[in-house]
Amino acid sequence: MYTEQPRSRPVTVSTLRQMKANGEKIAMLTAYDASFAAMMESAGVDTVLVGDSLGMVAQGHDATVPVSVDDIVYHTQMVRRGCRIPLLIADMPFMSYATVDMALRNAARLMQEGGAQMVKLEGGLNVAETVRLLAANGVPVCAHLGLQPQLVHKLGGYKVQGREEAAARRMLDDALALQDAGADMVVLECIPAELGARLTTELDIPTIGIGAGVDCDGQVLVCYDMLDITLGKRPKFSRNFMDGQSGGIAGALRAYVSAVKAREFPAPEHNVA
């Protein structure tokens, strides 16, 4: 069991860099309201993401596409009131960074109105210039490669990415371009574990995996999946942390943090390819 003392100081971008350097795994979860955020803080979660997955698990849509900037601002405000220690990241929704001007304006809203400390956006080379301008304006940025759920209507479904060597190489180029543009972190979603390991070795910035193998610098899950309250099917890469422990939701959150820190999650059965 993870028995470190709870943190007394807020997690920053440099804390996360230091964790990568020290080989301490980063535990991230999504949160959409103050109560869950507070429980995550108590459980030792390092960083909390107000994900656009809220469009699916909270709003009941079958994609993240309908989520608006107003929605993310509203949920980020709620999460902000629940926790002070974890680094607070807000997803930029579909079409909210279609132009650099829009990206700057909407990132400003997530930080100034929502209280986010970092914004996350999906894409590779196509968003590198956007990332560069955000970074130049003091906006910490988390990139998001592999499966990009906002592209579901182009992809035709939620599928594993980077299986072929050519696609893996393109993803590596994308990741290096994003890092060069000033990204502080990158989420890797639904890719072979070997590719997650390769990207983690090649990059100086921390990698956070979701269905990307145990060798990423950290892990993230949609909290509804790990608490087994997801509407419909839970992705194969998730695990029900309510199982095998008697501490309720607080226990499940602690079990997740502990399993990530101990490299026990994800296990080979959670690998996607």
Ligand X SMILES: Nc1nc(=O)c2c([nH]1)NC[C@@H]1CN(c3ccc(C(=O)N[C@@H](CCC(=O)O)C(=O)O)cc3)CN21
Q: How large is the greatest C-alpha to C-alpha distance in the chain, in angstroms?
A: 49
What is d(CA 195, CA 127) in angstroms, rounded to the nearest whole number?
21
Interface mask (CB under 6 A) for ligand KIV, residues 148-187, using x and -? Answer: ---------------------------------------x
Question: Is 189 designated active site?
Answer: yes
Q: Is 91 annotated to bind ligand?
A: yes
What CA–CA distance (Å, rounded) separates 203 from 193?
A: 16
CB of 47 or CB of 258, closer to ligand KIV: 47
Q: How buried is 110 (Cβ within 10 angstroms: 0-12 exposed, 13-18 middle, 19+ buried)?
A: buried
Neighbouring residues of 233: CB distance < 8 A, sequence distance ≥ 6: none
Contact, 207 vs 200, CB < 8 A?
Answer: yes
DSSP codes joined into one string, 166-208: HHHHHHHHHHHHHHHHT--EEEEES--HHHHHHHHHH-SS-EE
- Residue 91 interacting with ligand X (CB under 6 A): no
Q: By CB under 6 A, is residue 225 in contact with ligand X?
A: yes
- Enumerate residues 8-37 that contact ligand KIV by CB under 6 A: 30
3-state secondary structure labels for all residues of 17-40 = HHHHHHCCCEEEEECCCHHHHHHH
Interacting stretch for Mg ion, rule CB under 5 A, among 22-30, 89-97, 104-112, 258-266?
89-97
List the interface residues with ligand KIV, window 198-217 (CB under 6 A).
Answer: 210
Output 49 or 255, the one with its CB closest to ligand KIV.
49
Binding string, residues 36-75; x marks residues near ligand KIV by CB under 6 A: -------------x-xxx----------------------
Instruction: Answer for the pair 228, 234: CB distance below 8 angstroms, yes or no.
Output: yes
Work out whether 222 is an interface residue with ligand KIV (CB under 6 A).
yes
Closest alpha carbon to 155 in 166, 167, 142, 165: 167
State which residue, 4 or 62, has the beta carbon closest to ligand KIV: 62
What residue numbers does the annotated binding site cover?
A: 52-53, 91, 120, 122
Residues that bind ligand X (CB under 6 A): 53, 56-57, 64, 147, 149, 158-160, 190, 222, 224-225, 230, 235-236
| Residues binding Mg ion (CB under 5 A) | 51-52, 91
**Catalytic residue ranges:** 189
